[in-house]
Structure 1
Amino acid sequence: MTAYWVAQGVGVLAFVVGITTFINRDERRFKLQLAAYSAIIGIHFFLMGASPAGMSAELNAIRTVISLRTRSLWVMGIFIALTLGLGLAKFNHAMELLPIAGTVASTWALFRCKGLTTRCVMWCSTACWVTHNFWLGSIGGTLIEGSFLVMNGLNIIRFWRMQRRGIDPFKVEKEVQQQEG
C-alpha cells in the first residue's frame, strides 16, 4: 500500500468520525466531535503534504476543546494569531489560504457565537475547506467537508424554521449551561 492510499484512508476515517457532527444540538458534544474530526483530518493533510491545512486542522482540534472552557477574546486572539502565523509561513499556493481563512472564521464562531449563528459561520468556513480539499485532491476531505456543507446547511434551515415557529432548537444547550453556571 502506498503512502498516498494510507493518507486517503486516514481521510476516509475522518469522514466516518465527522459525518454526524452538525446534527448535535448539544454544544459540548458538537465541539468534542468536531475536535476529534479535526485531529484526524489534520493527520490526513500532513500525509497528503498539505502542511498549512494540517496545521490549521490540528489548531482547530486544540482550539475547539479549549473553547469548551473559555470564550475569552485573549485566547481567541492567540489561536487566530497562531493560525495566521503558522499557515502563512508555509503556504505555497493561493488556494492554501482558504483553510487559513476558514480556520480564522470558525475560531471566531466558536469563541464569540452561539447556536444558529455558530452554525452559519461554520458553514462559511466549510465552504473554504471543501474548495481547498477538492483542489488538493483529498477524497476523504472533499467528501466530509461536502457532507458538512450539505448537512450543516440543512440543519441551519431546520433550526431556523424551528425558531420561526417559536421553538428554541438550542434549549437543551441553554438548560445545561444554566445548570453548570
Structure 2
Amino acid sequence: MSAYWLAQGIGVIAFLIGITTFLNRDERRFKIQLSIYSAVIGIHFFLMGAFPAGASAELNAIRTLITLRTRSLWVMGIFIALTLLSGSIHVEYWFEVLPVIGTVASTWALFRCKGLTTRCVMWCSTACWVTHNALLGSIGGTLIEGSFLIVNGVTIIRFWKMQKRGIDPFLVEKTH
C-alpha cells in the first residue's frame, strides 16, 4: 500500500469517527469526540504532506480537551498564538491559511461560546476546512468536513427550531 492510500485510509477512519460529532447535545461528549476526530485527521494531513493543516488539527485535539477544564482567556490566547505560529510554517499555497483561520475561529468558539453559538461558529470553521481539503485533494477530509457542514447545519436548524418552541436542546438529563 502506498503512503498516499494509507493517508487516505486514515482520512476515512477519521470520517467514521467524526460523522456523528455534531449530533451530540452533551457538551462534554461533543468535545471528547471532536478531539478524537481532530487527532486522527491531523495524522491524515501530515501523511498528505499538509503540515499547516496537520498542526492545526493536532492543536485542535489538545485544545478541545483543555476546554473541558478551563475557559481562560489566557489559555485561549496561547492556543490562538500556537495556531498562528504553527500554521504559518511551510505555507506554500493561499488555501493553506484556511485551516488556520478555521482553527482560530473554533478556538474562540470553544473557549467563549456555548450551545447554538458554538455550533454556528464551528460551521464557519468547517467551511474553511472543507474548502482547504477539496483544494488539497483530500478525499476523506473533504467527505468529513462536507458531512460536518451538512450535519451541523441541519442540527443548528433543528436546535434553533427547538429554542423557538421554548425547548432547551442543550439541557441534557442526567440519569443517576
TM-score bracket for this pair, using the shorter chain length: over 0.9
Q: Which moved more, 1:52-61 or 1:87-96?
A: 87-96
Output the CA distance in 1 between the equivalents of 2:86 and 2:165: 44
Output the CA distance in 2 between the equivalents of 1:62 and 1:91: 22
Deviation at 1:89, TM superposition (A): 2.2
Deviation at 1:96, TM superposition (A): 0.2
Output the CA distance in 2 between the equivalents of 1:90 and 1:5: 23
Output the CA distance in 1 between the equivalents of 2:55 and 2:69: 22
User: What runs of 5+ residues in structure 2 fail to find an aligned partner?
Assistant: none
How many residue pairs end up in the alignment? 174
Regions of 4+ moved over 3 Å = none
Aligned residue in 1 for 2:101: 101
The code of the aligned residue for 1:163 comes to Q
SS of 2:128's equivalent in the other structure is: helix
Aligned residue in 2 for 1:29: 29
Aligned residue in 2 for 1:40: 40
Output the CA distance in 1 between the equivalents of 2:34 and 2:152: 13
Aligned residue in 2 for 1:73: 73
The code of the aligned residue for 1:135 comes to L
Aligned residue in 1 for 2:143: 143
Deviation at 1:90, TM superposition (A): 2.1
Output the CA distance in 1 between the equivalents of 2:144 and 2:17: 9
CA deviation vs aligned residue, 1:132-154 (integer Å, no higher than 9, x gap): 00000000000000000000000
TM-score by length of 1: 0.95
CA deviation vs aligned residue, 1:21-71 (integer Å, no higher than 9, x gap): 000000000000000000000000000000000000000000000000000
2:155 matches 1:155: yes
Where in structure 2 are the equivalents of 1:105-144 lying within 5 Å?
Answer: 105-144=105-144
Output the CA distance in 1 between the equivalents of 2:164 and 2:35: 31
Same amino acid, percent of matched pairs: 78
The code of the aligned residue for 1:7 comes to A
The code of the aligned residue for 1:10 comes to I
Output the CA distance in 2 between the equivalents of 1:75 and 1:126: 22
Deviation at 1:113, TM superposition (A): 0.1
Output the CA distance in 1 between the equivalents of 2:154 and 2:90: 35
Output the CA distance in 1 between the equivalents of 2:29 and 2:96: 29
The RMSD of aligned alpha carbons is 0.8
Q: Which moved more, 1:17-26 or 1:85-94?
A: 85-94
The code of the aligned residue for 2:35 comes to A
TM-score by length of 2: 0.98
Deviation at 1:171, TM superposition (A): 1.1
Output the CA distance in 2 between the equivalents of 1:66 and 1:92: 30
Output the CA distance in 2 between the equivalents of 1:134 and 1:90: 19
